Amino acid sequence: MTIARQIKFKPDVLVLASSLCNYHVVDILLAAVETAPADYVVTVTSGCDGKHLENSSHYRGKAFDFRIRDLSGSQARTWTDRLRLALGNRYFVLLEPDHIHVQFNGD
């Protein structure tokens, strides 16, 4: 299996500086890159920005959304399953119609 080695952020994506000091949150980014389809450039479409539920983990810097519009449905489902397996039960991974949402639910 070829591992995707690239990650990019949409130009308007905001990330809390404190998020990058939390290895649990950084693990989300690393797992996304490691589990993405071969040769796929992982794109973060939302960090602490955007419109989310009032108490969303996005606003606390503990969640990211990843683009899937360039993937088939089966590729998106496989990537979602790989993320769940790689991150374990301290994380919540949800396949949405246009992105994969991943958040850290631990301490």
The single-letter DSSP state of residue 79 is H
As given in the structure block, the two tokens for residue 26 are 């950084």
What is each CA distance from 72 to 78, 93, 95, 99, 104, in whole angstroms? 10, 18, 13, 12, 26
pLDDT digits (tens, 9 = 90+) for 41-65: 999 998 766 777 677 676 567 889 9
pLDDT tens by residue, 83-105: 999 999 999 999 999 999 999 99
Confidence of residue 14 (pLDDT cuts 50, 70, 90): confident
Q: Which residues contact 63 (CB under 8 A, 6 or more apart)?
A: 28, 46, 47, 52, 56, 57, 101, 102, 103, 104
Tell me the whole-structure pTM to 2 decimals. 0.86
Alpha-carbon gap, residue 27 to 104, rounded angstroms: 9
Domain 7-104 has CATH 3.30.1380.10: yes
